[in-house]
Amino acid sequence: MFRTIIYLKKTGSTMTVAKRLLSMLEPPFIVLAESQISGHGQKNRKWLSQEGGLWLTEVFYTERILGLSLFISIPILRVLKKYDSRIKVKWPNDLYLNGKKLAGILTKTSHNIAFVGIGINVENDIPDEAKKYAISLKELGNINKTKIFEEIIKEEERLLPVFGKNGFTPFRSEYEDHLIFMNKNITVKGESVTYGKVLGVTNLGELIIETMSGVEKIVQGTVLNL
């Protein structure tokens, strides 16, 4: 599926390049960079992107938007788990190891086109000031970035048709099995702040929380506990 891969040594952000390339290139394609100067997450939060990490944006057509951002964590989780079985997912789609962030995913959609930004700390060192919240696979030993990239793309290409046909539903229980804070109390900041026990996720990817005033489903937000 992803036969076109644009490789960049250094760029601002693969997200920005991918959007610009859309006027010249037919999806699906991938923009991959060795390093990014202005890598970003949601709400323009800075994403540290030194050489050695896996930084890419995938662009592809999709008829299905709901559940996409949670679904994308599944092929990545499956591949990374081969290297450390303790890897967990923090709703909606961050991957964590030992309570620290290993990978972040940024999903944007425009009509029926998905822009999926994936950042994984693989062979990069984590700067001292970020060591309290970030972790790299490098700490587990010699792990090859290209191999991880190829494995993720292969797994994603295998699973995307399943997602296209059935949505997030077939992946929901696997996701919940790896969900950090499952059955624990958390605080989520979305349109408002919600406190309660995590019961799981819906087939559309909403987080289900049992609060003092009943069960709530959260469409978008940030879990504040990590």
Stretch that binds ligand BT5, among 62-70, 102-110, 156-164, 200-208 (CB under 6 A): 102-110
Helix (H) or strand (E) holding 151: helix 145-166
3-state SS assignment for residue 203: coil
> Is residue 14 at the binding interface for ligand BT5, with CB under 6 A as the rule?
yes
- Of 221, 2, 25, 11, the C-alpha closest to 116 is 2
Minimum distance of ligand BT5 from residue 146's CB (angstroms):
16
Which residue has tokens 């890598």? 39
Query: Judged by CB under 6 A, how many residues of this single chain contact ligand BT5?
Result: 26
Q: Which of 1, 19, 22, 42 binds ligand BT5 (CB under 6 A)?
A: 42
Q: How far apart are CA 71 and CA 60, in angstroms?
A: 14
Q: Which of 6, 28, 47, 90 binds ligand BT5 (CB under 6 A)?
A: 47
Minimum distance of ligand BT5 from residue 132's CB (angstroms):
10
| Residues in the chain, total | 226
- Of 207, 209, 211, 210, the C-alpha closest to 219 is 207
> Is residue 92 at the binding interface for ligand BT5, with CB under 6 A as the rule?
no
- Provide the binding-site residues for ligand BT5, judged by CB under 6 A: 13-15, 36, 39-42, 45, 47-49, 55-57, 94, 101, 104-106, 117-119, 121, 133-134
